[in-house]
Amino acid sequence: MILRYTAQRLLMLIPVSFSISVVIFMIVYLLPGDPIDNLLRVGSSPEDRAELVAQYGLDRSLVVQYFVWIGNMFQGEFGQAIVLRRPVADLIAQNLPYSLTLGGLAFLFSSTVGMALGTLSAMVRNPVLDRFVRGFILLGSTVPGFWLALLLILFFSVNLGWFPVSGARGWESLVLPVLTIGFGGVALVARVTRVALLDVQREDFVTLLHAKGLSSGAILFRHLMPHALLPVVTILALRIGWILGGAVTVEFVFGRPGLGSLLIRALGQRDYPVVQACLLMLALAVMLGTLIGDVAQAAMDPRIREKKS
């Protein structure tokens, strides 16, 4: 059942990915400037230029260029970076691990701490705790990430000297970036968990569960949590692109490499193939996230499973 559902969702992604790939391919042509100019030796002739343009296949029609490009993408062939002069795949392979590590840890951190906080504030009837959590949620969803990062650096790196100021060496350098991204993530997950739990607690079946003599703990873990998990999983899955690409601010402040930084640098250098590959990777992550979210929801909720298949 779940397999069939997944397959269906996958099929639906085909036209979507096609349109996305066209959009991404076109974005690059909206960019002003020309990477060839950056590549050309100073003072070179128009002939030199034409030769380079031909070498990178930029002289063919857009349609041809698109199909060549998408064909290569399918074979995992991302082409050659124009400014950075190396296979784009190498660049992605170099940067992606940093994004995945940071994103993965931030993801773990936000989901565990966020769910714990959300559950605490929804389940424990303590107005002080609830107010604290709600205050935290408000702060976490409003404080600009870069500013938080700066404050964390000031406090933990400069004043206390616990963690490095910047860079991507060792676990120490991950702590502050993960905290920065996690802060907002925790707030988000806590909010969703809290609302979901408060909502589901009002359901009749919860009263009945109590009436069955189940302990509050058993009710929370066996019955309430799955309901709270539904929206949390959905929102987190949708955030995969957010966590991978949106880390760019944090990467910038902490001087970390990553997909977002690579994209921004490539945008600045007008390095078409890199921009395209990065955007494609991010779009892929976004689609994958949506897919995971849908499938997870279907796996957890029989009603969705039937409605859609």
Site for other proteins in 286-305 (CB under 8 A): 286-287, 289-290, 300-303
Site for other proteins in 266-285 (CB under 8 A): 267-270, 282-283
* Nearest approach, Cβ of residue 16 and other proteins (Å): 6
Q: Which of 114, 118, 177, 260 binds other proteins (CB under 8 A)?
A: 260
Site for other proteins in 85-114 (CB under 8 A): 85-87, 89-94, 96-98, 100-101, 104
Angle between helices 259-269 and 88-123 (to 10 degrees): 130
Could you tell me how many residues of this chain bind other proteins (CB under 8 A)? 110
- Name the nearest CA neighbour of 31 among 261, 248, 266: 266
**Is 175 a binder of other proteins (CB under 8 A)?**
no
**Is 129 a binder of other proteins (CB under 8 A)?**
no
Contact 157, 164 (CB under 8 A): yes
First to last CA, the chain: 8
Site map 211..240 versus other proteins, x via CB under 8 A: xxxxx-------x--xx----------xx-
Residue in the structure block whose two tokens are 């963690």: 163
Q: Which of 11, 61, 74, 204 binds other proteins (CB under 8 A)?
A: 204
CA distances for 120 relative to 51, 129, 194, 218, 224, angstroms: 65, 8, 8, 15, 13
182's tokens: 């996690």
- Name the nearest CA neighbour of 282 among 239, 250, 252: 239
Site for other proteins in 134-173 (CB under 8 A): 138-139, 141-147, 150-151, 153-154, 157-158, 161, 164-171
Side chain identity, residue 158 = V
